[in-house]
């Protein structure tokens, strides 16, 4: 059982009002996360208050700085145990969410959690650099997002191809965000992006966080994303 009051007050600080249904869903999510984590390695964060702050609130901070229109489509690349994508779905059930990961067993847990909390999302087992060439995913989304998957330069190559021109890639980052952004400048331009803004904030006693918003201003060239080996050998 999580401290719903803490979740409620912390989300209010982000300007969000979670209704009783959302609080119940987060409670169940936390319970299942701890249960499955004993069977499959999902997260090092298992204390209830830490789950609230470092997973739920950290994910929901997205909505303080960026407010997708009703029914907008969003893909979470490398969602793992559902962060930020599944947390966003609970707070905003109207969003059309795709949760992508290269590890099938994590997605099995996600499907189980979705069923238990009574929500639906598109759960996709794929590597971002391959799915980015698939017409079903390429330039199909209003938003792409990711947390703790890769450095911003490589992450831009994973995430920008999924976004429609006019949409945004929202990157959730930690204290090193400004340096990552500097290193990713060429990649972002090359992939059709333009940095719109970076918001840096303190996550309730858990350290500095940043939300980087990158607008998709032109189509991504067909050759991107490249296979991972090439991304490592020839970084943009
Ligand atoms: N986003 C989650 C979070 O913040 O808790 C999970 C982070 S975990 C450190 C990184 C996740 O990205 C893993 O679940 C891994 O399987 C996935 N991943 C790594 N590279 C990927 C790729 N190229 N395509 C899709 N998923 C990938």
103 lines ligand 1 (CB under 6 A): yes
Q: Which two tokens stand for residue 82?
A: 């559902």
pLDDT at 1: 86
pLDDT at 42: 94
CB atoms within 10 A of CB 133: 13
Our measurement of the distance from residue 202's CA atom to the centroid of its chain's CA atoms, rounded to an integer in Å, reads 18
pTM of the model as a whole: 0.98
Residue range 86-111, pLDDT digits in tens: 999 999 999 999 999 999 999 999 99
The dihedrals phi and psi of 205, each to the nearest 5 degrees, come to 75, 5
CA dist., res. 68 & res. 101, Å (int): 22
Half-sphere exposure of 203 (CA within 13 A, CB side): 25
Asked if residue 92 lies in contact with residue 120, where contact means CB atoms within 8 angstroms, the answer is no
pLDDT at 108: 97
Q: What is the DSSP letter of 102?
A: S
Classify residue 152 as exposed, middle or buried by CB count within 10 Å of its CB (0-12, 13-18, 19+).
Answer: buried
Q: What residues contact 44, with CB distance under 8 A and at least 6 apart?
A: none
Pairing mode of beta strands 163-173, 208-216: antiparallel
The dihedrals phi and psi of 10, each to the nearest 5 degrees, come to -65, -35
Q: List the chain residues with pLDDT less than 50.
A: none
pLDDT at 193: 98
Residue listed under structure tokens 């559902």: 82
Q: How many residues are recorded in the chain?
A: 236
CA dist., res. 46 & res. 43, Å (int): 7
Of 1, 12, 4, 2, which is closest to residue 204 (Cα–Cα)? Answer: 12
140 lines ligand 1 (CB under 6 A): no
Q: Which two tokens stand for residue 113?
A: 């959690």
- Give me ligand 1 centre to Cα 5, in Å: 30
Number of the ligand 1 atom closest to the C-alpha atom of 128 = 24
- Give me ligand 1 centre to Cα 234, in Å: 22
Asked if residue 126 lies in contact with residue 76, where contact means CB atoms within 8 angstroms, the answer is no
Which residue, judged by its Cα, is nearest atom 15 of ligand 1? 78
């Amino acid at each position: 059982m999580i401290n719903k009051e803490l979740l409620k007050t912390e989300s209010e600080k982000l300007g969000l009002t979670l209704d009783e249904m959302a609080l119940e869903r987060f409670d169940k999510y936390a319970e299942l996360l701890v249960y499955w984590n004993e069977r499959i390695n999902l997260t090092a964060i298992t204390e209830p208050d830490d789950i609230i702050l470092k997973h739920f609130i950290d994910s929901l901070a997205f909505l303080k700085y960026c407010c997708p229109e009703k029914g907008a489509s969003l893909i979470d690349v490398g969602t793992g145990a559902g962060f930020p994508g599944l947390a966003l779905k609970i707070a905003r059930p109207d969003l059309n969410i795709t949760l992508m990961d290269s590890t099938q067993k994590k997605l099995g847990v996600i499907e189980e959690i979705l069923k238990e909390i009574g929500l639906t999302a598109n759960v996709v087992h794929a590597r971002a650099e391959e799915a980015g060439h698939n017409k079903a995913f390429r330039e199909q989304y209003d938003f792409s997002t990711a947390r703790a998957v890769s450095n911003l330069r490589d992450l831009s190559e994973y995430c920008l191809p999924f976004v429609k021109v006019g949409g945004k890639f929202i990157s959730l980052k930690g204290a090193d965000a400004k340096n990552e952004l500097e290193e990713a400048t060429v990649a972002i331009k090359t992939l059709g992006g333009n940095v719109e803004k970076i918001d840096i904030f303190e996550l309730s006693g858990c350290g500095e966080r940043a939300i980087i918003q990158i607008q998709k201003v032109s189509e991504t060239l067909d050759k991107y994303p490249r296979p991972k080996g090439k991304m490592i050998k020839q970084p943009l």
